[in-house]
Amino acid sequence: MSDRVYIFDTTLRDGEQVPGCQLNTVEKIQVAKSLETLGVDVIEAGFPISSPGDFNSVVEISKAVTWPTICALTRAVEKDIDVAAEALKYAKRGRIHTGIGTSDSHIRYKFNSTREEILERAVRAVKYAKKYVEDVEFYAEDAGRTDNEFLARVVEAVIKAGATVVNIPDTTGYCLPAEYGAKIKYLCDHVAGIENAIISTHCHNDLGMATANTMAGLMNGARQCEVTINGIGERAGNTALEEIAMILKSHKEIGLDTNINTKRIYPLSRQVSSLMNMPVQANKAIVGKNAFAHSSGIHQDGVLKNADTYEIIDPVDIGLDTNSIVLTARSGHAALKYRLEALGVHLEEEKLDKVYKEFLKLADKKKEIHDDDILMLAGTDWTRSRHIKVDWLQATSGIGMKPVASIGLDIAGEKFEAAATGNGPVDAAINALRKIIKRQITINEFTIQGVTKGADDCCKVHMQVEHEGRLYYGFGTSTDIVTASIEAYVDCINKFTK
């Protein structure tokens, strides 16, 4: 068996299903190009029948990317497959990823069907997709909870029908590593013709076992793994690409290799985080802010004497450049462009000009501009026109006084002003704003995070609000916490007001 593991990246499909983190087509192309530079083998670019946006992204990514295979998801439905094939028409190498639920729970409750009928539908879908492309991947949704004997029958039948890759998703993140590994081994041992296809892992992280399950799958015969940058994805997310790449690089004794240029991991992690406005948790393995930060005296002493004492990965191997250039207000347009490109972000001149203007404004407030700052600026959509804009904001707070804020809003050209008190400056500012926008809005989530470090740091605010039973996400950034919070709140409101 080959020792090459194919990396199938689904950041732009399964990863992008995180509520509030959707990318537009231009942003998806940027990420796809960075994935190509990273060295992934397959990019799952979308689910074309699900929306015109997804269709268009598959088309544009197919045009923009040269060598990775471009994959489009479908259900085991002919219309889905027709649309996916149409979206893939510019792909140099196109793959259709079709499938159906195979667990008894899916068969009974989702399809109100029988095992035999599902098996037939699976085979029919693969044969139908083969009319369009040679490379057809079949997924057995909820394979993690599917009876192994039935799963083996399905896998055998779809390989016979022409599937080149069979995906064994642990859709609910339920499996234990030994159980998932045994499932893959069972298929390798019991499926006639298994040597004609590649088995793929696709593990969700609901119980925190996605990476362990993926490794168990690879060590038992799978040769493709489906992963996302930073492990993003619905609920608890998917297997993190960076974890698998670094496990295989660190544990040479496993004897498996990927095509990943690990030095591109850190910049791409930051790019995805800033474009999706989705913070990476500080203690996230490999790419978290604290992943290489030793704080205990014993560790620091050891690392200073010899990094090998406590560091199993050289930060340089993931592209964490501790000596990266710091930009200042005197840095020119070219320096900003150079630094962004070194981080894998290529911007059109028009957007670069806008980012440079914002960079100068930020550099006026902050002495040093770090990589995370410029990625944050590059990831912000400066072109979106806003129905409601904050003209001005003033907030006063302190010890022994009642926080008070006043605000001026521009609503489609009309001017409004209000003032209010609150239990803090953010609360006061939001109360003032609510006097103007008299809607029932509940804040469900409110996260403030520093971008780099220092008292003059920029902060990012992520907010989720509920209005008339629907959820809306907003994002704000500023060196001023109250401003960033109000920007995030207004960003949410702009999503439901016209």
Which partner in Zn ion, ligand KIV, none is near 141 (CB below 5 to 8 A by kind)?
Answer: ligand KIV
Q: Are strands 470-478 and 459-467 parallel, antiparallel or unpaired?
A: antiparallel
CB nearer to ligand KIV: pick between 204 and 284 = 204
CB nearer to ligand KIV: pick between 226 and 371 = 226
Q: Which of 46, 169, 267, 319 binds ligand KIV (CB under 6 A)?
A: 169
Q: Which of 55, 128, 139, 472 binds ligand KIV (CB under 6 A)?
A: 139
Least separation in angstroms between CB 139 and Zn ion: 8
CB nearer to ligand KIV: pick between 146 and 477 = 146
Does 6 interact with ligand KIV (rule: CB under 6 A)? no
CB nearer to ligand KIV: pick between 204 and 354 = 204
Q: Which of 171, 211, 228, 262 binds ligand KIV (CB under 6 A)?
A: 171
CB nearer to ligand KIV: pick between 141 and 373 = 141
CB nearer to Zn ion: pick between 96 and 429 = 96
Least separation in angstroms between CB 201 and ligand KIV: 11
CB nearer to Zn ion: pick between 208 and 297 = 208
Q: Which of 106, 183, 202, 366 binds ligand KIV (CB under 6 A)?
A: 202
Least separation in angstroms between CB 128 and ligand KIV: 17
Q: Which of 14, 60, 80, 427 binds ligand KIV (CB under 6 A)?
A: 14
Does 57 interact with ligand KIV (rule: CB under 6 A)? no
Least separation in angstroms between CB 30 and ligand KIV: 23
Q: How far apart are the first and last CA of the chain?
A: 58
SS3 per residue for the chain: CCCECEEEECCCCCHHHCCCCCCCHHHHHHHHHHHHHHCCCEEEEECHHHCHHHHHHHHHHHHHCCCCEEEEECCCCHHHHHHHHHHCCCCCCEEEEEEEECCHHHHHHHCCCCHHHHHHHHHHHHHHHHCCCCEEEEEEECHHHCCHHHHHHHHHHHHHCCCCEEEEEECCCCCCHHHHHHHHHHHHHHCCCHHHCEEEEEEECCCCCHHHHHHHHHHCCCCEEEEEHHHCCCCCCECEHHHHHHHHHHCHHHCCECCCCHHHHHHHHHHHHHHCCCCCCCCCCCCCCCCCCCCCHHHHHHHHHCHHHCCCCCHHHHCCCCCCCCECCCCCHHHHHHHHHHCCCCCCHHHHHHHHHHHHHHHHHCCCECHHHHHHHHHCCCCCCCCEEEEEEEEECCCCCCCEEEEEEEECCEEEEEEEECCCHHHHHHHHHHHHCCCCCEEEEEEEEECCCCCCCCEEEEEEEEECCEEEEEEEEECCHHHHHHHHHHHHHHHHCC
User: In the range 2-61, which residues lie near Zn ion by CB under 5 A?
Assistant: 14
Q: Which of 141, 371, 372, 373 binds ligand KIV (CB under 6 A)?
A: 141
Which partner in ligand KIV, Zn ion, none is near 139 (CB below 5 to 8 A by kind)?
Answer: ligand KIV
- Stretch near ligand KIV under the rule CB under 6 A, chosen from 32-40, 114-122, 155-163, 164-172: 164-172
Instruction: With CB under 6 A as the rule, give the number of residues binding ligand KIV.
Output: 8
Annotate each residue in 196-235 with x if it binds Zn ion (CB under 5 A) or - if it does not, as one string. Answer: ----------------------------------------
Interface positions with Zn ion (CB under 5 A): 14
The residue ranges that bind ligand KIV (CB under 6 A) are 14, 139, 141, 167, 169, 171, 202, 204
